[in-house]
Amino acid sequence: MATRIGKVTDIGAGGMRAFNVGGRKVAVANVAGRFYGFDDTCTHMGCSLAAGDLDGTTVTCACHGSEYDVTTGAVLEGPAEDPVNTWAVQVDGDDLTVGP
């Protein structure tokens, strides 16, 4: 079942925010009005990716510079080696939902 996490207006274009979804931290990025969800926890040493920088569809971890593609979770640049899980984010009226 999809989980409501917030409002569309909570994340401006080019922005990111982390939400608690059933005990997991999920980051959501707004890329030109499209929303992409991925695990907020960097697979390198666990920093919050939502606290990093978003440039187009690339998120850069603020801790040691790992880069991920927010659309796939793939690592684009180390030191991280493992991808992050992605989450399907839907827009339901004014609400953002993730899951199932």
Q: Which is nearer to ligand FES, 8 or 63 (CB)?
A: 63
**Interface of this chain with ligand FES, residues 70 to 99, rule: CB under 6 A:** 79-80
Q: Give me the 28-67 binding string for ligand FES, x by CB under 6 A, dash otherwise.
A: --------------x-xxxx-------------x-xxxx-
Q: Distance between CA atoms of 84 and 69, rounded to whole angstroms?
A: 9
In terms of C-beta distances under 8 Å and separation of at least 24 residues, what long-range contacts does 70-79 make, across chains too?
Answer: 70/29, 70/31, 70/36, 70/38, 71/31, 71/36, 73/38, 73/39, 75/43, 78/44, 79/44
Neighbours of 54 (CB within 10 A): 20
Q: By rule CB under 6 A, what count of residues binds ligand FES?
A: 12
Provide, rounded to whole angstroms, the least separation between the CB of residue 47 and ligand FES.
4
Q: Which is nearer to ligand FES, 16 or 96 (CB)?
A: 16
Chain residues binding ligand FES by CB under 6 A are 42, 44-47, 61, 63-66, 79-80
